[in-house]
Structure 1
């Protein structure tokens, strides 16, 4: 057998091994979600059995109770609050991070590396360390249990990460394209909207998706700073764990419903997400 044939066989064997490993990792990550989905269709008695029964009868009681069929609280206000806080904060982050990333990557300001380090340093403080000052500020400003307070907080929390991500994406844009637009007489707003934004759309989509996920999943500030009016979906979910016990089927049903917007957004933007996260990986 020739050397080339041996080399091709080794490459194919290595590729098959990596493919098998990827499938195993994918199944390992998918199993908890599949388990949660299956448990959500069981009754509380079947969900509490140990070991669990895979052949147990399926029912929609957990979903009915989650949506208030049993006289409980309706989840729709919490879901709407999470949607408003996540979408509004993500849009604000993109509007602020895009020109900042342009100034730090293409039309670089002085000491731009120090600016990036400053953005990163804001994430080094534990979130719980700033909880009391923010609570006192919100209380004195009369903004407790206000959804727009969460919008401001989520914007400030995700802005450093968005600037870091978009700076690396925009740094891959050829400068010649922007210079050509300047020669044609395009001003900065036109360059950002019609030249930079379409080219960096995968990076913008990846940044938006990550900011949306972080905002949707945030629990600490939402738990402390909201009550009834601005309650978000994660806070609503924690209400199922009471002194009466843990209703496993109902919690699984609620977790699956609350996770659906994130899963749907990730599935819809998966192509842009892969392209955005891979920008700059190949030189």
Structure 2
């Protein structure tokens, strides 16, 4: 036994763990600093046009039209006063009310229609549900201008020209495919055990959708609603062609500041800032829901 032990090769001593290099944390810090600097530069590039618009809206028309623009020009609120009709012009309130009405009502209709459709395509999938989803998405591939003439003739023959309810229907049909596509992925993350438990307790489909599915998928529904609201608020082609004075929306009202007399840059910037405020306010109010909804299902 001792001979065998003596003749056996000795085990090599275990290698010592490598010492942490001092250069590694330094390189990581440099990489993080470079990424942070790049993020700040990208953020400033996105914010700089907005800041420039705000500054231009606070200048007079003569100072805003200078080339290059003068940063040290005196500030004034004349652009905002003229936008709100202080100079005797038309006020923006009817156009803002029309945009708010069209955006809110179309978003509500989209949610009412998209929630059952997304439920059928995700939790209770229909046959060939992927083909149904691609059919919904294919409706967005047709350019809006291609269907503008038939829609105009239809509105003219039915007396719906310059009618805000026509815009509500058009915005609903415009946003419904995107809403169904988004909410299908959100509702696919709802645990089926909750739905089965509610059905065992006697809950019908409307109760399941409103009491079980909607609270669980609330972040995704909020993200979908916010995106549909933004698309409806910013839409101008339909509103420009199909409306006149009664149903004029805020983006169409914005174009009235571009006249044959020239471009009133300060008033346009002031009007653009005021018209963008509802969308910005909605985005900030639903910021947490938007982030949760857009990241729902990203981590498995």
TM range (shorter): over 0.9
Larger radius of gyration: 2
**What is the alpha-carbon distance in structure 2 between the residues aligned to residue 194 and residue 94 of structure 1?**
15
Q: CA RMSD in A?
A: 1.4
**What is the alpha-carbon distance in structure 2 between the residues aligned to residue 5 and residue 159 of structure 1?**
56
Structure 2 residue aligned with 1:104: 121
CA separation of 1:172/1:139 partners in 2, compared to 1, >3 Å: closer, same or farther?
same
Q: Normalized against structure 2, the TM-score is what?
A: 0.91
Structure 2 residue aligned with 1:268: 285
> Cα distance, 1:83 vs. partner?
0.4
> Cα distance, 1:23 vs. partner?
1.8
Q: How many residues align?
A: 283
Structure 1 residue aligned with 2:165: 148
Residues 99-133 of structure 1 deviation map (CA, whole Å, 9 limit, x = unaligned): 11011010111111111011001000000000000
**What is the alpha-carbon distance in structure 2 between the residues aligned to residue 270 and residue 4 of structure 1?**
42
**What is the alpha-carbon distance in structure 2 between the residues aligned to residue 3 and residue 280 of structure 1?**
37
Please point out which of 209, 216, 222 is paired with 1:192. 209
Structure 1 residue aligned with 2:12: none
CA separation of 1:193/1:13 partners in 2, compared to 1, >3 Å: closer, same or farther?
farther
> Cα distance, 1:11 vs. partner?
4.5
> Cα distance, 1:178 vs. partner?
1.6
Residues 20-49 of structure 1 deviation map (CA, whole Å, 9 limit, x = unaligned): 222211111000000000100100011011
Structure 2 residue aligned with 1:209: 226
Residues 187-226 of structure 1 deviation map (CA, whole Å, 9 limit, x = unaligned): 2211111111111111011100100000000010100000
1:63 equivalent to 2:80? Answer yes
Alignment gaps of 5+ in structure 2: 1-17
**What is the alpha-carbon distance in structure 1 between the residues aligned to residue 119 and residue 289 of structure 2?**
20
**What is the alpha-carbon distance in structure 2 between the residues aligned to residue 2 and residue 101 of structure 1?**
55
Write out aligned runs for 1:122-161 (5 A).
122-161=139-178
Alignment gaps of 5+ in structure 1: none
Q: Normalized against structure 1, the TM-score is what?
A: 0.96
> Cα distance, 1:264 vs. partner?
0.5
Structure 2 residue aligned with 1:165: 182
**What is the alpha-carbon distance in structure 1 between the residues aligned to residue 201 and residue 272 of structure 2?**
53
**What is the alpha-carbon distance in structure 1 between the residues aligned to residue 294 and residue 234 of structure 2?**
21
**What is the alpha-carbon distance in structure 2 between the residues aligned to residue 27 and residue 217 of structure 1?**
23
Partner SS, residue 198 of structure 1: helix
**What is the alpha-carbon distance in structure 1 between the residues aligned to residue 159 and residue 84 of structure 2?**
31
